[in-house]
Amino acid sequence: MFQTENIKSLQEQSKRFLDPALEESFLIDHIEDLRNCIRFHEHRYYVMNDPLLADAEFDQLYKLLEKIEKKVPSIITSDSPTQRVGVGFTKQFNTAQHLVPMLSLENSYDADDLLDWDRKARELSALNELEYCVEPKFDGASISLIYENDLFVRGTTRGDGIAGEEITLNLKQIKSIPLSAPFSKYGIQQAEIRGEVLMNKKNFQHFNENLIEQNLPPLANPRNAASGSLRIKDASIVAKRNLEAFIYHLAYINADDNEIDINSHAGSLEMLWQLGFRSPVQEMKVVKGIQAVIDFCKTFEEKRDELPYEIDGLVIKVNDFALQEKLGMTTHHPRWAIAYKFKARQATSKLINVEFQVGRTGSVTPVAKIEPVPIGGVTVASISLHNQDFIKEKDIQIGDTLLVERAGDVIPYIVKSFPELRKGSEKEIAFPSVCPICQTPLIKPEEEAVWRCPNDLCDAQVVERMIHFTSKDAMDIRGLGDANIRKFHELGWLKNIPSIYKLPFDSIKQMEGFGAKSVTNLHDAIEKSKQQPLYRLINALGIRYVGETTAKTIAQSVDHLLDLSKMTEEELQQMEDVGVKVANSIHQYFSKQENVATLAELESLGLQLHSIKKQSTGGRLEGKTFLFTGTLNQLKRSQAEEMVEANGGKILSGVSSKLDYLIVGEDAGSKLEKAKKIASIQILDEVGFIKLIS
Rounded to 5 degrees, φ, ψ at 555 are -60, -30
Can you tell me whether residue 6 is helix, strand or coil? helix
Which of the 8 DSSP states describes residue 105? P
Query: Please, which residues bridge with residue 374 across strands?
Result: 379
Which of the 8 DSSP states describes residue 533? -
CA distance 382 to 216: 20
Query: Please, which residues bridge with residue 334 across strands?
Result: 329
Tell me how far CA of residue 114 lies from CA of 194, 297, 315, in angstroms. Answer: 24, 11, 11
CA distance 251 to 159: 16
Structural contact between residues 184 and 147, judged by C-beta atoms closer than 8 angstroms: no
CA distance 429 to 690: 57
CA distance 86 to 83: 7
CA distance 283 to 49: 14
Strands 244-255 and 285-288: unpaired
Let me know how long the chain is: 694
Written in H, E and C, the secondary structure of 364-421 is EEEEEEEEEEEECCEEEEEEECCCHHHHHHHCCEECCEEEEEEECCCEEEEEEECHHH
Query: Is 298 assigned a catalytic role?
Result: no
CA 128 to chain centre: 36
Annotated catalytic residue within 137, 317, 341, 552 = 137
Residues in contact with 251: Cβ distance below 8 Å, sequence separation at least 6, in sequence order: 98, 99, 100, 102, 144, 192, 193, 194
Written in H, E and C, the secondary structure of 302-327 is HCHHHCCCCEEEEEEEECEHHHHHHH
- Output the CA torsion 457→459→461→463 (10° steps): 120
C-beta neighbour count of 269 within 10 angstroms:
24
Structural contact between residues 383 and 322, judged by C-beta atoms closer than 8 angstroms: no
CA distance 102 to 332: 9
Rg of the chain over Cα atoms, rounded to whole angstroms, equals: 30
Tell me how far CA of residue 172 lies from CA of 55, 80, 152, 402, 449, in angstroms. Answer: 21, 11, 9, 45, 53
CA distance 57 to 61: 6
Structural contact between residues 627 and 654, judged by C-beta atoms closer than 8 angstroms: yes
Can you tell me whether residue 246 is helix, strand or coil? strand
The residues carrying an active-site annotation are: 137
